[in-house]
Structure 1
């Protein structure tokens, strides 16, 4: 019988697989990569939900402008014809294109001034650490980046 074709060869083992050391190295590499990637992923999620909220605030402002054209005032655009609170003219949550159970922000008419001639609308995050977004009838935009409930001069932007 030829030694090349023999089933019972002597010599090095032909078993294949991972050694414990190789497995530990692979697990360590996966751990390091996930430790680096997870914060970036979380940051991406926050940025994307904030962008959707900004878009929804702009659409909300458009609905308020339509309300003003029909009623000559922003007054009464809230639920039960109120001036502030949840809107009746737009979805009360963001993303407005999804179900309320998936909301990341609550949209409200924060204040009316000048006898209903000016407004401030707000996107309050469900997760408080993100900071509220504001849009004013005169076009100003604000992001309460530090979450203190007021806007400083440096916070009158959405990409501060």
Structure 2
């Protein structure tokens, strides 16, 4: 009586094993990618907020020295520019109060590209920030 062996020597992965692995990776990627996208948007917003605070500090220094706030042209002429990573995602404007009123400014950062879902970020001379839920 001869013994017949029905077991085969395995030389690799079966098609079913590969397909299961691909399906698992696809499921994990579909969960992880949107979270990563939101993380990137929050990180870019955080960098913009840091620049807004830097501009507000510069505005306070300018006010102490000149008794008025600086407009965007004056800030640019004094050597200030947005870092490239912020400038790629946000543009900014500085709105000054009427010259006959007490000095005031409103700093607005407007998002571009993927950041647009975020909406504008504003900061005024009193430190009020909008929208509050984005700060």
- TM-score over 0.5 (shorter chain): yes
Secondary structure in structure 2 of the residue aligned to 1:106 = strand
In the other structure, the counterpart of 1:54 is: 49
CA–CA separation in structure 2 for the residues paired with 1:53 and 1:99: 9
SS of structure 1 residue aligned to 2:43: helix
Map of 2:134 onto structure 1: 159
- 2:122 is matched with 134
Per-residue CA deviations over 1:109-130 (Å, capped at 9, x if unaligned) read: 1x11142600000111112222
Q: Which residue of 63, 81, 104 maps to 2:89?
A: 104
TM-score, L = length of structure 2: 0.80
Q: Which runs of 5+ in 1 are unaligned?
A: 1-9, 82-86, 144-156
| Number of residue equivalences | 125
1:122 is matched with 108
Taking CA–CA contacts closer than 8 Å with sequence separation of 6 or more, which of the two structures ends up with the larger relative contact order?
Answer: 2
Task: Report deviation, 1:70.
Answer: 1.9
Q: Where has structure 1 moved over 2 Å in runs of 4 or more?
A: 10-16
Give yes or no for contact 1:133–1:158 (8 Å, CA) kept in 2: no
Long gaps (5+) in structure 2? none
Cα distance in 2 for partners of 1:159, 1:105 equals 15
- Structure with the higher helix share, 1 or 2: 2
Q: 1:66 to 1:43 in 2, by over 3 A?
A: same
TM superposition shift of 1:14: 2.4
